[in-house]
Amino acid sequence: MFDLDPFRPAAADIEIPAVGIGTWHMGEDGSQRAREVEALRHAMKLGFTHFDTAEMYADGGAEEVLGEAIADSDRDTLFLVSKFYPWNADPDAMLASCAASLDRLGIEQLDLYLLHWPGDVPFEETLEGARRLMDEGRIRAFGVSNFDEDALADLADRQLLDLVAANQVMHNIPHRAAEAGLFPFMAEREIAAIAYSPLEVGPMRQIDGLEDVAEEAGLTLAQLAIAWHVSLGLAAPIPKSANKAHLDDLAAAVRAAPLPPAMMQAITATAPLPDPGTPLPIR
């Protein structure tokens, strides 16, 4: 485990580890399954305890990969997150989706269960499903994903944020829109932020001067991205890799944080905050 302060949302008695590992694209190619399982086990050995998946990823295949990887682990040491489709957001469908996810993961309870993106099911019904899942002990906490500030503000106006413990959104050095309004809004209400696609190494290479900052720090661009996230402390990044060497690099980057203030300022100088109102990127 890493010596980092967890995120503690107001809506649930949970502690979200400050950095995790995602599983997007895992489970899509059966020939890679053993490699993916071993990579996730290696991540646990390095100190990662927060793992993120979704019923959408490989139609549940990623959940199966993660389930195999954690089968012999101490469940109490892990923080496991999955997400459900918007069209499964009514109470009955939520219970069925959650049951299927738990079965694929081989566990009895999720630490956090997220609505993958806004949909057409009335949020009041989704909250009813979340309450039923919590009452039955199938999930410890509920949250959302890909909700921008306007969407959360609408829920706040309707007094529907009481169970929302976290919001998972795209956030990285090339795409900092969440910092302009969404993250402050969430912080005021103690809603934890989780950052998917936290690396974006390709777009990072297009930012003039950023590679020089990484070189000065003795880090790769991917390492710089993770060290920046941990130093910023606004959201828990969940990078994904099925490569052991890459995971070693990511763990080293976590331990390299916090970056010196001058280096954080240099990153902002090369990748400044966008104007307020910049749309939240979704992937």
Q: Is 226 exposed, middle or buried (0-12, 13-18, 19+ CB in 10 A)?
A: buried
Nearest residue to 124 (alpha-carbon basis) of 147, 158, 157, 165: 158
- Flag whether 3 is in a domain: no
The pLDDT of residue 78 = 98
- Flag whether 132 is in a domain: yes
The pLDDT of residue 250 = 98
The pLDDT of residue 281 = 87
The pLDDT of residue 191 = 98
- Flag whether 244 is in a domain: yes
Q: Which residue has the tokens 């106006």?
A: 157
- Flag whether 11 is in a domain: no
> Over the chain (283 residues), what is each successive 10-residue block's mean pLDDT?
94 98 97 98 98 98 98 97 98 98 98 98 98 98 98 98 98 96 97 97 96 96 98 98 97 96 97 89 83
DSSP 148-168: -HHHHHHHHHTT--TTEEEEE
Cα–Cα dist 30/23, whole Å: 14
The pLDDT of residue 55 = 98
The pLDDT of residue 283 = 78
Range of the domain at 24: 20-270
Q: Which residue has the tokens 């390709």?
A: 202
The pLDDT of residue 1 = 79
The pTM of this model reads: 0.97
- Flag whether 155 is in a domain: yes
As for how many domains the chain has, the answer is 1
- Flag whether 6 is in a domain: no
The set of long-range contacts for 121-124, using a CB threshold of 8 Å and a minimum separation of 24, is 121/86, 121/87, 121/89, 121/90, 123/155, 123/158, 123/160, 124/160
Do the beta carbons of residue 186 and residue 133 sit within 8 Å? no
Q: Which residue has the tokens 């012999």?
A: 72
- Flag whether 84 is in a domain: yes
Q: Is residue 196 among the annotated active site residues?
A: no
Q: Which CATH number fits the domain that encloses residue 146?
A: 3.20.20.100
The pLDDT of residue 259 = 96
> Sign of the CA dihedral 11, 13, 14, 18?
positive
- Flag whether 9 is in a domain: no
The pLDDT of residue 275 = 87
